[in-house]
Chains A and B, each alone.
Chain A
Amino acid sequence: MAKRPQRRDVPGDLHSTPNISKPRGYFSGNLETGLPSSRKYASLRKPPSSREINKANNLSKKIDPEQISLLIGKDWHLHYVTPLYKFSHSEIRTYSRQLSAFIAAEKQKGVPFDMGSDNIFRVNFSIILGIAEKEEDSEAVFIQIYAKQFFAIQGTTENVIWSGWLACVNCSTEYISSLPPRFTYFPLFCSNGPETMTAIVRTWFQKTFDCSFGNLTMNYSNLGWLAAIWTDCKQTVDFKYLKLSWTLPLRPPLDITYTINSEDVWELWNSVHKENDQITSEEMGQFMYSLESHFFRHFKVHLTFGELIEVSTSLGLVQKNGRIKFLSGERMPAILTLLTENAVLMMPI
């Protein structure tokens, strides 16, 4: 029987030439330098089987309520980010100026904007303390872009036309410690605002910090976790219903919206969930399976043949294509941890 090939990681400086590691027995060539392979790390890792949900925990304990209100109520578009090179939290004023200048330069170049042609844009970077959970996580950075009319009278207020934030919540310690020095890691980037502005901000980040972005999609199990977490909040925060949306691949495609009363879903959740702070993936799987089989019993439609597109409650809304809206700060750390892990797994390399 062939010996299982060993994988060798070659951590090295970005500037050194690739090393081929010494072959030992069977060897699967892994010519990687610089950043350690996240995909290899991801493929080695099973999805976590249990999730710690601290019931007493919501963000308002640690963060200024004003700053929380920045995060809540807006429709965020999720992206994953590769590590940033030479990003420093103390230089954020410089970054604000640079980004404003970059936006003005892009406007000059004639890049299409859909925000009106005579606006001045001002950028503000700020740090939100308290989102990052572990010591190794970098503190979250919040970006706002204000627009003001060029010919405006003194004293007119600026409007926020775009906001975004970079966050790292409960990211795995091994991965962060294996990054070469001078790299900062924010796996999750959320943006709200016109797409053209998002593209410009991404281009600036790519040019300045040599990172790359990609869209984050939520798969079935992530949406299931969020449904479970939000259902679990029923004791502390009441919500009326849990709504799940499916699309079945028929001709023409059939959209199903499955709305469940919160008392019923709470009863179901209680019968599945043990009374403690952890939610295991078996419980989550059992919960989703019960909902789907109940639907099958009544309508004779197998929901598992379709795709789960959206999960929403009055605590928040999340869609498969990577859009999320928080309507309450409840259980945010757990949700942000889930999103961060998803971002880390989706990162290429």
Chain B
Amino acid sequence: MSVLKLFHKHPELNTASILLVETERQHQDKLAEAILAAQRSFNVNVHLADSLPLPTKNEANRPRIDLVVFIVNHFNSHSLELTKSYLQHLDVMYFLGRLCFLVSDARSAKSDRDILHAVREMAAQYSSPLLFTELQTEQGLATAADRLLVFTKVSAGFVPGVSSLFLNTLTSCSHPMESSPTKLSDTD
């Protein structure tokens, strides 16, 4: 089973690479453009994919991927199932802070509550950050791009003293809390 490995290739000078994976290819392009347009002090390569494993014929030309972002569609259940299956094709080193989940328009009326709950559980299970973004507006795209660039900067090692695992302890998603009636009446 082909696995996307992290340390197989040499990093390039002052360059970071992001891989955006989205099953339905709705927001990838706009988000990629926003990332490229954002202000940054290093070069960024943005790669788009709709599934993992990545095709092997481009293997040689592809640079080292510093950050993998899964854009999960929470309007239907299929996207979540597929994303879970793609996670098997990632090297284990990506799970230590170089992986990020992203959902867009969580406040939309079309969103399914249970699916969003399930996405959150998945992000918590893999200890990865879950970003809630608004990818319909320009401002939202710019904000999302900035947030992703912060993660990329750390993953690519451009911030001295901060490793991606360290950032992960601060940003990983917490489990939606389990129910327990006694917790509600917790008083001082």
Which A residues have a C-beta under 8 Å from some C-beta of B?
A: 1-2, 4, 6, 8-9, 21-22, 36, 41, 43-47, 174, 178, 217, 219-221, 302, 304-307, 345
| Interface 1/0 per residue, B88-131 and A, CB below 8 Å | 00000000000000000000011011110100000000000000
Do A220 and B186 have beta carbons less than 8 Å apart?
no
With A44-B179, A307-B75 already in contact, the answer to whether A22 and B188 are too (CB < 8 A) is yes
Q: Distance in Å from the Cβ of B128 to the closest Cβ of chain A?
A: 15
**How far does the Cβ of A321 sit from chain B's closest Cβ, in whole Å?**
10
For the complex, would chain A's binding face be called helix, strand, loop or mixed by DSSP majority? Answer: loop
Known: A44-B176, A44-B184, A217-B109. 6 other contacts (CB 8 A): A1-B169, A22-B188, A43-B177, A44-B177, A44-B178, A302-B78
A46→B188 CA distance, assembly (Å)? 26
Once the chains are docked, how many angstroms separate the CA of A319 from the CA of B121? 28
- Report the Cα distance A178→B117, complex, angstroms: 25
12 examples of A-B residue contacts, CB within 8 angstroms: A2-B170, A8-B187, A9-B187, A41-B184, A44-B183, A174-B184, A220-B112, A221-B114, A304-B78, A304-B81, A305-B76, A307-B75
Would B114 and A307 count as touching, CB distance under 8 A? Answer: no
Residue count of chain B within 8 Å CB distance of chain A: 27
Residues of A within 8 A of B183 (CB): 44
In chain B, positions 38-83 with a C-beta closer than 8 Å to chain A are: 75-78, 81
Inter-subunit contact B188/A21 (CB<8 Å): yes
Q: Contact at B76–A46, with CB atoms within 8 Å?
A: no
Collect the chain A residues with CB atoms within 8 Å of residue B75's CB: 307
Q: Indicate if the CB atoms of B174 and A174 lie closer than 8 Å.
A: no
**CB–CB B77/A46 < 8 A:** no
B160 at the binding interface (Cβ < 8 Å): no
Evaluate contact between B184 and A178: CB separation under 8 angstroms. yes
Establish whether residues A4 and B184, one from each chain, have CB atoms under 8 Å apart when the complex forms: no
Docked complex Cα distance between A43 and B75 (Å): 19
